[in-house]
Amino acid sequence: MNDVLDEMQNLVKQASSTARGVSIIKRRAKNPNKPAAAWTTQARIGTETGTALSIVLSTEGCAHARSSDGGCTMCSYLLDGTSMNPTSDEFLNQFQEAMKKLENATSPLSVKIYTSGSFLDTDEIPIEARNLILTEIANDERIKEVVLESRPEYVQDSNLEEVRSRLGDRAIELAMGLESSSDQIRSLCINKNFDFATFKGAVEIGKKYGIGTRAYILLKPPFLTERDALLDAQKTISDAIDAGATTVSLNPVNVQSNTLVESLWKTQRYRPPWLWTVVEVLQYAHDAAKGSVKVVCDPAAAGKTRGTHNCGKCDQSIISAVRQFSLTQNIHAFDGLKCECRDLWNHCLTHEDVSLLVHR
Amino acid sequence: MEMKKMAEFRVGRGHDGPARVGEYIMNDVAFETPILISPEISRANPLHYMTLGRDPTRQRPMISTIPFTMKLDELVKAEPNDSDSILLPSMISFSSLSADAGTLLLRHQIEFINSVKDTIDPSRLIIRVPENIDFEVFESYLHDFHSMGIRAAAFTFDGLLGSVDTESIHLRSALPASWLSTALGKITPSMVPFLFYTGFDIIDCGYSIEAAVTGTRLWRNDSERIEQGAFHRFCSCIHCVSFSDDSNSKLIETLQNHNLDVYNEILSESIHAMKNGRLRWLVESMTHVSPNHASLLRQVDKQSYSFLEEFTPTTGTDVVPLIGPESYNSPVVRRYREYLEARYTPPSGKRIVLLLPCSAKKPYSDSKSHRRFLETIESALGRTVGSVAQVILTSPLGVVPRELERIFPAANYDIPVTGDWDAEETELGAEALIHYLDKIDSESTVVAHVSGGYLGIVKSAESKVSQSIIYTTPETSATSWESRQALHETLVDLKNVLQLKDTPPRQLEEIVRATADFQFGSGAGDMLVPENAKLGGKPYRQIVCRIEKEQVCSFIASSGSISLTLNGAKLLAPLNRYWVRLDAPQVKGGSIFAVGIKKADSEIRPGDEVIILNNEEQVIAVGKSEMSGREMCELPRGRAVSIRHKMEG
């Protein structure tokens, strides 16, 4: 049976590459001294509320997405990057540019560094650049929490030891896109190109240095029914918590340009997850977390046709409940949510499984 | 050892296109097909589906789904009911990736079957047919599935009535006749007759619930949004008696029950129509629900004609209404035109071909207008009347030679008569006329006693025929007194110019020969009615044909067809057509069942006169087919032939 599944996976790889198309080549060279994006939000940092800065460094992009493997079926963050890889000094400039947003902020601060790839991949971020940035953070006493994004295969004793020694006793989390704990779904539906064992290995390395794991969990990759997706996200959350994740972040798929998901979506063969599904999964996650693991969700394009959405009438109230819950971890944020579209969602859960027709 | 539980589909008696009635037996519970299937079980909908490990199981047999991601040990844990039928795992949307993707999904199912066949009998498994798969590739996979013991398939419909739905119907036509066929997805009530017609036995009515929860009341042809205070249609159903649009929970239940009843109504209407030979008419009548309904039928007529035709009976005593353009290529109509072109030979010795307009009353010669035409012809030609071939122009059959006017569907069709013909009808008519005149001596004279639309046919054929054409009175109606006078004069002139000799009418012979050719293929007429044959009887009742005092066949006017005797069958046997070979030396009882048939001519359609051969190639019986030749070979049971005459052993 594995032969067939392998062939199916190859088809997905090809289709991912095809969907990516010439979009990588067409990427423009961007100002190497400016980050791709930077924004601040209110966030829970330790037991206090503070300000979190999210930085997306402008890099050459994720090695997996650039490779002949085609990248992940739902992701085009690669396109946020630049076609020319910046120098270490330019990376530092990007970081400092972003930090300006925290000029007047007071402690505690949280800094999250995303690259649309892997912060620990030295082909993407040279060691020199990484160390310059980590030193900058180390010199800022207000920063109490640091989140670094990476694929698990770049997580090693050597680089985590370095990270820990530079950042002192700050809370550190590795942000890794586990997406699904099912190897079949992660390879066949997402084309993620690593297995659960690799993820667990990376979590274990992190534990050695007191570095926690923020596990990104993908809600509704392509080729799953709504209920497949719901159940897989729930199972993945339990598995991630068992593996030692310190935060689970639920990411409902949003339809990004030049992805396999987008090509399916355009021909009515994909629908982003219902907000009801998001709520259902978060409620489950809250139970599974038993108060010791943080559960967050900041859905992209929520309420829009390309993002997680319901009927349109109830979307805003549910989105704000999701945000409220992420900030407070209070499950009562979901109390009283109600809409007539919930029956339709219920019907979709059963009928899509049987008919294998995408319910829009 | 415990007997493994099985499922079996039994095709019942009767045909109207690929539609069939039958029984789906799941372990020991039999469900009559066609049947609706839904997620909810109720009195009106006894069959339902669920997903293993996700929905509650029930004691009643149902169709359960295996999620693609379910592992074998999880399947065992989910404990499928041992009378359930099981939909094999497949991956949603995956087959749209490429032409190979669907093939991979089928291969995955084959491997799955191999891994469960020791615990689940393959007769209980239902393959899922992916979209976007090549027809021939699918056929070869079907062969593998069939040899593994699979006997059921499910297809997905997206309800858009576009390429996905057309493709599902096309792929369905590849299934062996014995397989159960299931339609899943978004299926509105207006699709039910069409899916039944194209051979689906289980039809998903899950959309009844989707509609109900979105405040939609379904009707046969369309739907109605229920909004508070708005206008609502009158409904007499028991659920809607207490209908009110202000209580939401009650409303959904009311709508759900109402919607389910609409599905049941249209399905039972479809079954009734099939039993009366009017299913095609019902399907055609529903093409006006939406342009997509019409284009779907036209696409399927084009793409899957041979599939539709193969199961369409060749006899029928009822009226065949042919109302709109959807009828031009309906199986009975197109088959008539094709048989006429391929099989019909005009009688010899004709020097004049007289083209006449059709009449509303059938057969034509029973109509007032044709009785007058016949009087005119006889009074003009007298004893030379046998040298005229009469041909009736009509839409959408094209041309009907006088000697075939009682054949099905020429004697049965009913069209709206306005005299105006559209371009397609004119073209079909002209083509048929050209083919007909191709078979006529080019020295013959064609007399066109037609006007209006009929005239259009002749005019557009004229440049492509070799005979010269004389028009009688193209300006006025063919039935008027002046026109008939003109016809009279034309025929009298021709009689003199052509110096016609006395040619007595040979009407009986011409009818039997032409009918035999049409029914059994070219050459059959000469074999059944050689020069020494003696014919007796009346064209409007029965014509009996004898050779040396032995009856070989008779023409039955009411059905327009020929019944063979054993002697007649022996005469026809060398033609090597319409034969059914048995595994036995002789026929027992009044019927032959599919199980006893070794092989049958693939040209056989339900309603055909067939010749039964034994295992030594001897003619042992004649009878009427109850199914198509392919079904005789593929079905494991069921009545295949009703015997008319057999060798007494």
pLDDT in tens, B219-228: 999 999 998 8
List the Cα angle B534/B535/B541 in 5-degree steps: 165
Q: How many domains does chain A have?
A: 1
Q: pLDDT for A244-266, tens place per residue?
A: 999 999 999 999 999 999 999 99
Which tokens belong to A49?
Answer: 């509320």
Q: How far is B88 from chain A (nearest CA, A)?
A: 10
Can you give the pLDDT at residue A306?
Answer: 97
**Could you tell me if residue A283 is inside a domain?**
no
Is A323 a member of any domain? no
**Are residues B66 and B53 in contact, defined by beta-carbon separation less than 8 angstroms?**
no
Which residues of chain B approach chain A closer than 8 Å at the C-beta? 39, 49-51, 54-55, 63, 65, 67-69, 87, 90-94, 96-98, 100-101, 104, 107-108, 111-112, 115, 128, 156-158, 184-186, 204, 206, 209-210, 213-215, 248, 252
In this complex, is the C-beta atom of A79 within 8 Å of any C-beta atom belonging to chain B? no
Domain enclosing residue A234, as ranges: 2-255
Q: Indicate the average pLDDT of chain B.
A: 94
pLDDT tier at B163 (50, 70, 90 boundaries)? very high
* pLDDT of B27 strictly over 90: no
Nearest CB neighbour to B156, from listed A11, A350, A356: A356
What pLDDT score was predicted for residue A320?
Answer: 97
Superfamily classification of domain B7-304: Queuine tRNA-ribosyltransferase-like (3.20.20.105)
- pLDDT recorded at residue B3: 59
Distance from the Cα of residue A356 to its chain's centroid:
27
Chosen from B93, B248, B260 to mutate, greatest number of chain A CBs within 10 A: B93
Does A9 map to a domain? yes
Q: Higher model confidence: residue B524 or residue A31?
A: B524
Evaluate whether A150 touches A176 at the Cβ level (below 8 Å).
yes
- Which pLDDT band holds residue A212 (cuts at 50, 70, 90)? very high
Range in A45-49, A327-331, B516-520 with the lowest mean pLDDT: A45-49
Nearest in space to B408 (alpha carbons), one of B556, B220, B300: B556
| pLDDT at A24 (0 to 100) | 76
Whole-angstrom Cα distance, residue A141 to residue B457?
Answer: 96
Tokens at residue A80, please? 């946020």
Q: What's the CATH code of the domain at A169?
A: 3.20.20
Cis peptide before B325 (omega within 30 of 0): no
B556: closest CA among B278, B315, B276?
A: B315
pTM: 0.94
Q: Give per-residue pLDDT as tens, B42-94.
A: 777 789 999 999 998 877 889 999 999 998 888 888 878 888 999 999 999 99
A183 interface with B at CB cutoff 8 Å: no
Angstrom distance (rounded) from CA B287 to CA A215? 54
pLDDT of A191 > 70? The answer is yes
| CB spacing of B92 vs A223 below 8 angstroms | yes
Instruction: State residue B347's pLDDT score.
Output: 94
pLDDT digits (tens, 9 = 90+) for B593-611: 999 999 999 999 999 999 9
Q: How far is B643 from chain A (nearest CA, A)?
A: 44
Mean pLDDT of chain A: 94
CB contact at 8 A, A313 and A345: no
**Residue A322's pLDDT is what?**
97
Quick one: closest CA in B to A270, which residue? B93
Which ipTM value was assigned to this complex?
0.93
Residue B649's pLDDT band (cuts 50, 70, 90): low
Distance CA B75, CA B120 (A): 11
Question: Residue B117: how many CB atoms within 10 A of its CB?
Answer: 15
Query: Can you read off the two tokens belonging to residue B358?
Result: 């059709």
* Residue B94, min C-alpha distance to chain A (Å): 6
Which residue do the tokens 């979590």 mark?
A203
> From the candidates B69, B144, B256, which should be mutated to test the interface with A, based on the most A CB atoms within 10 A?
B69
pLDDT band per the 50, 70, 90 thresholds, residue B279: very high
pLDDT higher than threshold 90 for residue A26: no
CA distance B212 to B414: 40
| Residues carrying CATH 3.20.20.105, chain B | 7-304
Residue range B534-646 forms a domain whose CATH class is mainly beta
Give buried/exposed letters for B136-165 (b at 16+ CB in 10 A, else e). eebeebbeebbebebbbbbbbbbeebeebb
Q: What pLDDT, on a 0 to 100 scale, did the predictor assign at position B420?
A: 81
DSSP string of B602-646, one letter each residue: TT--TT-EEEEE-TTS-EEEEEEESS-HHHHHH-SSSEEEEEEEE
Q: A residues 121-160 near B, CB within 8 Å?
A: none
**Chain A with chain B: Cβ pairs closer than 8 A:** 115
Greater confidence (B263 vs A70) lies with: B263
- Tokens 């002949």 belong to A68
What integer pLDDT is reported at residue A61 of this predicted model? Answer: 86
Map residue A249 onto helix, strand or coil.
strand
pLDDT at residue B285, as a whole number? 96
The string of DSSP letters for A1-22 reads -HHHHHHHHHHHHHHHHHHHGG
Q: Where does CATH 3.40.50.10630 sit in chain B?
A: 320-497
* Sheet hosting strand A212-219, strand order edge to edge: A37-45, A48-56, A109-114, A143-149, A171-179, A212-219, A247-252, A294-297
Question: Domain B320-497: which topology?
Answer: Rossmann fold (3.40.50)
pLDDT of residue B1: 41
pLDDT at B4 over 80: no
pLDDT at position B5 is 83
Instruction: State whether A355 and B156 contact (CB < 8 Å).
Output: yes
Residues of chain B with CATH 2.30.130.10: 534-646
How near does any CA of chain A get to the CA of B389, in Å? 58
The shortest CB-CB distance from B101 to any of A11, A184, A353 is to: A11
**Residue A43 confidence (pLDDT):** 84
Q: Is the pLDDT confidence value at B316 over 90?
A: no
Cis link prior to A108 (omega < 30° from 0)? yes
Strands B85-87 and B63-65: parallel
Average pLDDT of span B324-339 = 95
Q: How confident is the model at residue A20 (pLDDT cuts 50, 70, 90)?
A: confident
Read off the DSSP letter of residue B191: G
Residue in the block written with tokens 């020694």:
A165
Contact list, A182 vs chain B (CB under 8 Å): 69
